[in-house]
Structure 1
Amino acid sequence: MLIPRRNIWQQSIYLMGLYGQYLKIYLKTLVEYRSDTLIAVGAGILAQGSTLLFLTVIFQRIPKLADWSFYEMIFIFGLAATGKALNQTLFNAPFSLTGYIRRGLMDVMMVRPVGVLFQTIGLSQELNGVGQLVTGVVIMVYSAAHLDMSWTVWTFLYCMVALFSSAIIQFAILLTISVLTFWVQEIRSLIYPVNWLYDFTRYPLEIFHPILRVLLTYVIPYALGSFFPAAFLLRPEQYSWAAWGVPAVAAIVMALAYWLWSFGIRKYSSVAG
């Protein structure tokens, strides 16, 4: 059977439709396993709620933290949490790559007329991300309602772009590490600690040591997908560069990760070999 020839627009529409089918399967899974879905939502509420309780206790003793008020801190936390949940829900593929290789599923993907990376993304939605996604959005809305923020159509669109950029930055960083599994049998022991570093960016970078700030901004740029877009929405005159810097960094790190992925997939040898 010959693969139909498509131009770039036709291919884009085809892939969006195909990914829609993956999401439909994911939504059916949420409905089918209602108990698991409710537990995931409850776990997300508890996880985020515990952090909110911690921040509430801290701000009962101090008026500001590194010149950020309580509701500003909550907004930063909410945007970072939503970005991470979006990544878990839609782009959890790096955590699944090793399993796909060991089970031989990678070999099956490589003979299909769709890119392997696209398939791994489509098959790797994470149930636990749903609860955190819901609570993250609620936290953002709640904190924004208590802040003097000017919401326009462009501000709302930037917020959407920032959240998607956050998910892409996280995905690209973890994909870069997971590609090593083409040469090393077990890499998840490195993926998880790097993933946990993102939690630092749920707070203002000023409260951390300069070395950690440099690490999270220039080496593993998680802060470009969490703290800085939130800071731009809160203080646009001070962080104006984040308007273009956040999506630009997302595009750059994704391009680098995809280049490394393409190199790795060419070096991949079948488990049957």
Structure 2
Amino acid sequence: MLAPKRSFMGQVAYLIGMYVHFLKVYVKTLVAYRADTIIAVIAGIVAQGSTLVFLTVIFKRIPMLAGWDYNELVFMFGLAATGRALNQTFFNAPFMLTGNIRNGRMDMMMVRPVGVLFQTIGYSQELNGVGQLITGIAIMGYAASHLDMSWTFLPVLYVVIALLCSALIQYSILLTISVLTFWFQEIRSLIYPVTWLYDFTRYPMQIFHPILRGLLTYIIPYSLASFYPAAYLLRPEQYGWAAWGVPAVTLVIVMGAYFIWSQGLRRYSSVAG
């Protein structure tokens, strides 16, 4: 099937409309499966709340951690949790790739007049991320209200940009790993450990060994998806480079992941073949 010819802006408008349609289907799913939605929200609150309790217990004995106080760490945790939930809720596509290939759904996507990657993203909304998203925003807002931070337009805009960058960095890293399924039959044993590495970035990078800091900054740059944006908001005079560095690195990572995806897609052969 040939896609109709559109201008660049026409194509952008078409894709936005298409994604809105995917979101409508997702919202209908949340409404249709009320019990699952409620359980997911409760599970997210419990999961994030347990870590918050852990931080509270620790700070009753240790007033500062690597120079960061309790409210600062809670803010870091809230931003990291919100970014993680955004990724899980709207960009869960890397976890679906292997299944799409094995059940033949990829063949169906290949003949549609919309990009395969776009369709994969559209189908990938994850119910379990809703509760964590709500809880993450609440935790971040609570911590921000207890910090001496000026919430003018620019800081709020940067929070939005930082959260989007966080979701895209996680998505791009996991997509790069999942694309290996075009060369190897099973990669889930690799993608899950890489996902779990993100949990380290809920805490200050200074508390970790230099090797781990290097891994999470230069090899698998999860720290740019959570710690450094939070550090910039809390201490802009010390982490000013993150204002432009995080969006710039995000763009590079997204472009790199898309290039690798394109190379992998060329190797795809139909399951019917």
TM-score using structure 1 length: 0.99
Cross-structure match for 2:163: 163
User: Is residue 2:265 matched to residue 1:265?
Assistant: yes
Check whether the contact 2:182–2:265 (CA below 8 A) recurs between aligned residues: yes
| 1:2 Cα offset (Å) | 4.8
Tell me which residue corresponds to 2:209. Answer: 209
Give the distance between the partners of 2:54 and 2:116, measured in 1 at CA: 42
Q: Secondary structure at the match of 2:61?
A: coil
Q: Which position in structure 1 is the counterpart of 2:78?
A: 78
- Measure, in 2, the Cα distance between the counterparts of 1:149 and 1:36: 37
1:114 is paired with a residue whose SS is coil
1:151 matched to 2:151: yes
Distance 2:268 2:142 in 1: 47
Residue 242 of structure 1 deviates from its aligned partner by: 0.3
Instruction: Give, in whole Å, the separation in 2 of the partners of 1:3 and 1:125.
Output: 25
Query: Cα offset for 1:3?
Result: 2.6
Q: 1:94 is matched with which residue? A: 94
183-192 vs 198-207, which moves further: 183-192
Paired amino acid for 2:159: C
Q: Find runs of 4+ consecutive structure 1 residues off by over 6 angstroms.
A: none
Deviation at 1:272, TM superposition (A): 0.9
Amino acid at match of 1:229: P
- Matched length: 273
CA distance in 2, matches of 1:96, 1:265: 15
**Structure 1 CA distance, aligned partners of 2:240 and 2:30?**
39
CA deviations on 1:167-226 (whole Å, 9 max, x unpaired) are 000000000000000111111110000000000000000011100000000000000010
Task: Return the offset for 1:267.
Answer: 1.1
Cα drift, residue 106 of structure 1: 0.2
**Residue 191 (1) aligns with residue 199 (2):** no
CA distance in 2, matches of 1:18, 1:64: 48
Report what 1:177 is aligned to.
177
1:235 alignment counterpart: 235
Partner letter of residue 144 of structure 2?
A
- How high is the TM-score relative to the length of structure 2? 0.99
- The answer for the alignment partner of 2:55 in structure 1 is 55
Overall identity of the aligned pairs, in %: 71
The CA deviation string for residues 226-272 of structure 1, in whole angstroms up to 9 with x for no partner, is 00000000000000000001111111001000000001101111111
Question: Which residue identity lines up with residue 250 of structure 1 in the other structure?
Answer: T
Q: Give the match's secondary structure for 2:269.
A: coil
CA distance in 2, matches of 1:209, 1:8: 47
**Structure 1: unaligned runs, 5 residues or longer:** none
